[in-house]
């Protein structure tokens, strides 16, 4: 039974992948798009195999940037959410700054960070942190301030301090909202790292895509894109699975399949 359940979970993504490849090939056949604009699925698969070593090397660099930025962004966002919920005076200063930070285009920050921090891993990690930080901080803060009042009254009845209420009552109550922010962060994490690599880098999937495009190795460029998308999908579902395990009481209330 477990094997059958696992197969049923894998069957739909595999079917979607096969369908996407078939539509891709059909578009090429019907429109006659040149391969230097849109290579065939077979050409991309061949590039994935032929350049697997090169792709693995650059994917490892991008993975380090994304995972490190994700961890840093989550920790910083969660710390900010807790500070906003705990200190009223801080909210008046920090909330406007958070909103202003989201009005600055990410592409505008990349050259500045390269100027300040150079062309190493640091700017890419920081770019990933910036794009992750806001959804975690905003959803975490919303979850903390929407704690049911009855829970807080009960905590005061038991003599819990403000700090204990925050950590033992409000934070657990905020986990469902925070989980939404973490899922958004996981899907957005690769964006910051790749933008940093596009602006200035000598390694990483973003750099490899630009280099392949300049050399008209379009199949390799698409292969790098496939690796990046695969990594982003695995990261998202990995975090989603971890959140489901961490919050078994939070059931999916969508309509079940018939």
- To the question of domain 39-245 being in CATH 2.120.10.30, the answer is no
If pLDDT is split at 50, 70 and 90, which confidence band does 251 have?
low
pLDDT over 80 at 5, yes or no? no
- Give the separation between CA 103 and CA 122, rounded to whole angstroms: 23
pLDDT tens-place string over residues 45-98 = 999 999 999 999 999 999 999 999 999 999 999 999 888 888 887 888 887 877
Segments in the chain forming alpha helices (H):
2-31, 41-50, 52-86, 88-103, 106-117, 121-145, 149-157, 162-165, 171-199, 205-214, 218-246
If pLDDT is split at 50, 70 and 90, which confidence band does 101 have?
confident
pLDDT tens-place string over residues 114-169 = 878 878 888 889 888 988 888 898 888 888 888 888 888 888 888 888 888 888 88
Residues 4-14, mean pLDDT to the nearest whole number:
66
* Domain chopping of the chain, boundaries: 39-245
- Secondary structure of 107-161 in HEC code, one letter for each residue: HHHHHHHHHHHCCCHHHHHHHHHHHHHHHHHHHHHHHHHCCCHHHHHHHHHCCCC
- Give the separation between CA 139 and CA 159, rounded to whole angstroms: 28
If pLDDT is split at 50, 70 and 90, which confidence band does 10 have?
low
pLDDT tens-place string over residues 183-239 = 888 888 888 888 888 888 888 999 999 999 988 899 999 999 999 988 888 888 888
- Give the separation between CA 16 and CA 34, rounded to whole angstroms: 25
The token pair at 94 is 């920090």
Compute φ and ψ for 243, nearest 5 degrees.
Answer: -70, -35
If pLDDT is split at 50, 70 and 90, which confidence band does 1 have?
very low
- Give the separation between CA 226 and CA 119, rounded to whole angstroms: 25
The token pair at 255 is 């309509």
pTM for the model: 0.83
């Amino acid at each position: 039974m477990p094997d059958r359940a696992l197969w049923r979970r894998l069957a739909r993504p595999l079917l979607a992948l096969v369908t996407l490849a078939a539509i891709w090939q059909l578009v090429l056949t019907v429109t006659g798009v040149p391969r230097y604009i849109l290579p065939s699925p077979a050409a991309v698969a061949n590039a994935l195999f032929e350049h697997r070593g090169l792709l693995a090397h650059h994917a490892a660099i991008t993975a380090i940037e994304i995972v490190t930025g994700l961890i840093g962004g989550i920790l910083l966002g969660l710390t900010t959410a807790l500070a906003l919920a705990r200190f009223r005076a801080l909210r008046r200063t920090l909330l406007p700054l958070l909103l202003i930070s989201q009005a600055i285009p990410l592409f505008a920050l990349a050259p500045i960070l390269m100027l300040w921090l150079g062309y190493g891993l640091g700017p890419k990690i920081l770019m990933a942190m910036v794009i992750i930080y806001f959804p975690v901080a905003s959803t975490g803060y919303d979850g903390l301030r929407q704690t049911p009042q009855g829970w807080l009254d009960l905590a005061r009845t038991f003599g819990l301090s403000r700090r204990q209420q925050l950590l033992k009552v409000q934070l657990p109550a905020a986990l469902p909202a925070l989980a939404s922010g973490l899922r958004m962060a996981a899907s957005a994490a690769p964006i910051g790292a790749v933008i940093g690599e596009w602006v200035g880098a000598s390694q990483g999937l973003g750099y490899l895509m630009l280099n392949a495009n300049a050399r008209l190795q379009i199949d390799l460029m698409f292969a790098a894109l496939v690796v990046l998308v695969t990594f982003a999908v695995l990261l998202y579902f990995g975090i989603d699975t971890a959140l489901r395990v961490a919050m078994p009481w939070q059931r999916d209330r969508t309509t079940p399949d018939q």
